A and B are shown apart, each in its own frame.
Chain A
Amino acid sequence: MDERKEQDQGAGRDGDCEAQGVPGAGPSAGNARRRLLLGGGLAAASAVVSIRPALANTAASVLNCQIPVPDPAKGMGQMIAPDGKLVPKGTKGAFPASSKPFTGEEVKAALRGGRSLPGTSYEQNRAYLNYIRRLQNGTSGFTCYASLQMPR
């Protein structure tokens, strides 16, 4: 569960705000005008949090899913570079494809930092996780990964 501090800050609300209105929008009546902090820069970015459509949000938690590394349809004969990209066989420093897919649970545990993916060394685990983080819609394992609800 994310801790989002900005949500819990109570900015002052105008007493005469309608339920449908915007809190604090509109100047207060009387002599003192309400202070408005424009901030800007980083403050501008943190003033808006958007609810993005999370693909299969929690839906796949009801299903047991798996992520092959790499997608057999796309990665035939290729290896995984340390940054997760697919590279030709024989590339120095790259790791071979995993012999079996990983389950959603295994990937979630590895992403959390607790356990490496089963059967992998430290560097291999990192390369595989980088591959998984790069998954796009249409690649095998993408919906599984998206459903793990890991914070971006």
Chain B
Amino acid sequence: MTQAERLYYRDDPDEMLLRPLDGLTLIYHRPSGITHIVDSPVPEILAALSHEPLPARLLLESLSADYDLEGEGEALDNLAAHLEELCALGLARAR
């Protein structure tokens, strides 16, 4: 399945400016100049991404090491959907 082969990463942590607001997170994305207001799990997913391109399943493992994902039957599919959305917004990259 092509989706399982997609590798996700972030270019440069400095390209985003993060600020907490009202239990949410504001993100100023420098390359695009666009402001995003995001809710959990987006900040946690962004924090799990790094320079190193990784498939969604490895990112999921990393998140389960840090967070309780119990009861998440479709965790991998859900994570992949989030990652794709982040790529569409330019906040993450994939290949």
Query: A and B: direct contact (Cβ < 8 Å)?
Result: yes
- Taking Cβ atoms with an 8 Å cutoff, the residues of A that contact B are 6-13, 17, 19-27, 32-41, 43-53
CA distance A4 to B90 in the complex (A): 23
A-B contact pairs, 19 of them (CB 8 A): A6-B39, A21-B18, A22-B46, A23-B25, A24-B40, A25-B44, A25-B47, A27-B66, A36-B44, A37-B41, A38-B82, A40-B77, A40-B78, A40-B82, A41-B81, A46-B39, A47-B82, A48-B37, A48-B85
What mask results when residues 55 to 95 of chain B are scored 1 for a CB within 8 Å of chain A, else 0? 00000000100111110101101110110011001000000
Number of inter-chain CB pairs below 8 Å: 118
Most interface-central of A22, A37, A46 (chain B CB within 10 A): A22
- Taking Cβ atoms with an 8 Å cutoff, the residues of B that contact A are 18-20, 22-25, 34-44, 46-47, 63, 66-70, 72, 74-75, 77-79, 81-82, 85-86, 89
Q: A22-B18, A24-B43, A36-B44 are in contact. Are A48 and B67 (CB under 8 A)?
A: no
CA distance A32 to B66 in the complex (A): 10
Measured between beta carbons, the chain B residues less than 8 angstroms from A32 are: 68
Asked whether, in the complex, the Cβ of B40 is within 8 Å of the Cβ of A37, the reply is yes
> For chain A, what secondary structure do more than half of its interface residues adopt (helix, strand, loop), or is it mixed?
loop
Asked whether, in the complex, the Cβ of B85 is within 8 Å of the Cβ of A44, the reply is yes
Q: A23-B25, A23-B43 are in contact. Are A17 and B81 (CB under 8 A)?
A: no
A20 smallest CB distance to B (angstroms): 7
Nearest CB in chain B to that of A50: its residue: B36
Q: A34-B67, A39-B78 are in contact. Are A7 and B37 (CB under 8 A)?
A: yes
A94 smallest CB distance to B (angstroms): 37
Asked whether, in the complex, the Cβ of A33 is within 8 Å of the Cβ of B67, the reply is yes
B27 smallest CB distance to A (angstroms): 9
CA distance A45 to B42 in the complex (A): 11
B13 smallest CB distance to A (angstroms): 12
Partner of B66, one of A7, A21, A26: A26
Partner of B20, one of A23, A46, A50: A23
